[in-house]
Structure 1
Amino acid sequence: MSATSSDFDKAAGVLRAGGLVAFPTETVYGLGANAEDPAAVARVFQVKGRPPSHPLIVHLAAAERLDGWVEDVPETARVLAERFWPGPLTLVLRRGPRVSPEATGGLETVAVRVPDHPVALGLLSAFGGGVAAPSANRFGSVSPTTADHVRAELGDAVDFVLDGGPCEVGVESTIVDATGDVPAVLRPGGVTREDLEAALGRAFAVPAASPVRVPGQHPSHYAPRARVVLVEPEEVVVEAERARERGHRVGVFLPPALAGSPVEAHAVVAVPGSTAAYARGLYAFLRDLDRQGCDLIVASLPAEEGLGLAIANRLRRAAGPRSAVPRPPAP
């Protein structure tokens, strides 16, 4: 389904009235509110069940619209914005006066990006301001990459859904802290570390734990209802069969090296050999195994280079401890 100019106008009107709009980006679908409206931003947190200390990303139609949203743009940030915007890169900068403090989790920094999707850009252009948006799902659960995922999980809690088809990248944006002298990757994503290093001609730090609060840093995140267990690639088949013998309905992410191998399991996903294809399908794969009734998913991590770094990050958090995370209800 393709959004029309009238859809953009209607969605922009919803935002101006304090409502919530779900919209596609090249990464995942976002749940958007007027970034200057504290009450609307608060409703995003309420609908998602998201802790108010977890900041949102402010989406803009173009880099030229940064004025007022950020305090200053260091040279490193300018270079990265020129190279990767529109695109799956989020920059953490000093907060400007236009940003509602609720959108930043009370921080003096703000995460901003320009998405690379015609529907997202159409909405942002029609609205004319900044849209604060996390992924359009319940906090901690699998991010949505189609409009149907949004509708199934959030239902009528969203005032308007713009359908732009499946997301092309499939994992969230890379978040880079550009406030200091040395830029750091706070969350790996759709722009690879290698691409960032090539753009700046310098190495990028990837801290084990983010020194700045940013989206996607909870120990359990991107998680299906099924429990995720990570093992070495060569152990996937054996671990799946052991789990089945213990009475689990097992879903398996079969790595490319084991393609075609027989495995006793309730459902099997053949992991694509291309990391771009894997990233694009990752969240749909997890949702599908939930839909098929799996209660345990056995997977392995890809090589942590290129998009493999982002995929590994998402799988680790999907397998993280869940005691403090409210789980979404079964559909």
Structure 2
Amino acid sequence: MFKLEPRPQPSGLWTYASPILALAMTVLIGTLMFAALGKDPIKGLQMFFWLPINSGYALGELLVKATPLLIISLGLAVCFRSNVWNIGAEGQYILGAIFAAGVALLADADSSRWIVLPILLAGMLGGVLWAGLTALLRDRFNANEILVSLMLVYVAVQLLSYMVGGPWKDPMGFNFPQTKNFDAVTRIPRLFDGSRVSIGVLMALVGVGGLWIFLFRTRAGFSLQVGGLAPAAARYAGFSSRRALWSALLISGAAAGLAGALEVAGPIGQLTIYFPAGYGFAAIIVAYVGRLHPVGMVLSAILMSMFYIGGEMAQSRLGLTKSLTGVFQGLLLFSLLACDTLVNYRLKWGK
């Protein structure tokens, strides 16, 4: 039988081969799942892996969903590399959307086109404030940032429900919990006519390059990573763990808030109780499938957005529940965790 034998050092090959094997396992299990549900596995897999990329419009929608996932995961990568466990990016994403909507609702048809800039900055401020609460409680009271950031997600959801069902509720919205549609001047500029792809894609790509430079070419990025890998060595080198905590959480909050602002002022065009799509939680999977590397997260964000689109298509065309998206996300995550065992262990045949 096979047994696990520790490797003398982590395998560089399996570090990058593990996500590929995990994706193959996800496809295999997904095929069996479609067959068990009485659906054609080929058609089911087409919904997730072919239809999202088979036309120019489909590619545009893929980028629309990949943009917030990538931006949030870039911020989370800073936290995770610093050994700061921000699990509440969804709440920071929601607060960013609320702050951005507040600025957008103040605008009218006579406002300058530059109103888009304050909207984005307001979104980043909302995310920073919400992440700052987690940093404050961890710094002053040594509260667990995992629990604090996660619980703040539910507070953010309740705040969103109050705002769109109360002060900001659209009086002409047939009693739906939503704001009025934002004026056209507040909309995030689009890259192409007839497509919903906005300049958020360019911001995400700039963020990829900026994060790579920050992590691998600056002293500040180096100090954050040393603090995450070896706190004692970081203290000996004079790096501040407190500064690392605040920097990581505030950068992550700003990224999540920016994603929220781009979403409500971009493809949605209003603030509604239904706008949170779980991007903050899915971005955790994106970050780890991408190995916390900026380039790897680009690929994993595209893959995760394919799961979102595939879940929507499976609901409309195959009559399956939309929660199939979460099933595929979970399959990918657990497959990755299983395959990551091969990074530090090798399979060896033995009695």
TM (norm. structure 2) is 0.22
Q: Which has the higher strand share?
A: 1
TM (norm. structure 1) is: 0.23
Higher-helix-fraction structure: 2
Greater RCO (CA < 8 Å, at least 6 residues apart): 2
Greater Cα radius of gyration, structure 1 or 2: 2
